[in-house]
Amino acid sequence: MVDVLIILFLIILNGFFALSEIAVVSANKNRLETERKKGSKGAAQALKLQSNPDNFLSSVQVGITLIGIVNGAYGGATLAVYLVPFFEQFAWSRAFADSIAMTVVVILITYVSIVIGELVPKTIALNNAVKMACTVSRPIRWVSFIFYPFVKLLAASTALFNKMIGLKPKNEIISELELRAMLKTASNEGVIDAAENIMHEQVFYFSDKRAVHIMTHRTDVEWVDISKTQEEIVQDLLHMRHSKILACNK
């Protein structure tokens, strides 16, 4: 029973690292900045992790790798012993009882690890990215501190490999299309009113227009010269297409 609890604990710990990875990576930077301004220390730590993704991802990978190694070695060596007597009862499996027991244990641990240690935590992280990022940021910073040499080695190796293949880090820039899509999604979900979304859309259209599109050139403006006689003004008005005319003194 103790062995099962230890393995389950390791799987849950693996889930913590998987959750941390997705939460910090997918958390909206602007929302984290808002939480930081409200005094959230977790948000401040999460922003630091986002600003140095190589160290953060290396810390997570160190934790996941170590847990995977320990879990595989410990689980296979301990739980398989309990299954060997069961398979020794049958003539067809007696000769391979040890191997079959080990295989069954590996399959069971893998299944539970995928569900509890990967899929469920990542789903939670995606649905509550900002909240989870604020919660896990401090423990991950401690992991980075404890495994500092390994983390720096992995981060340096990653940076070197990226440099070799010509991959350069770039700042995240939201394009106009992405921003308009975000506004449309916010409108559909009721975050902003439909009228507000239309107003924002018009801003994009307005910025693409030139003065000639929204103004009339002075030579094309219809007006009357008040210095003319009344008869001349009436004749000019009869040839004009507007109900309101500019009156100017030439």
Instruction: Work out the average pLDDT over 3-9.
Output: 88
Which H or E element spans position 92? helix 91-94
* Start-to-end Cα distance in the chain: 102
pLDDT at 175: 66
pLDDT at 152: 82
Tens of pLDDT, residues 167-207: 766 555 666 677 777 777 877 877 778 778 777 777 777 76
Structure tokens at 42: 């977790």
Tens of pLDDT, residues 35-68: 999 999 999 999 988 888 888 888 888 888 888 8
Tens of pLDDT, residues 97-150: 888 888 888 888 889 999 999 999 999 999 999 999 999 999 988 888 888 887
pTM, full prediction = 0.64
Q: Which residues are CB-neighbours of 73 under 8 A, at least 6 positions away?
A: none
The bridge status of strand 223-225 relative to strand 246-248 is: parallel
Distance CA(79)–CA(148), nearest Å, equals 33
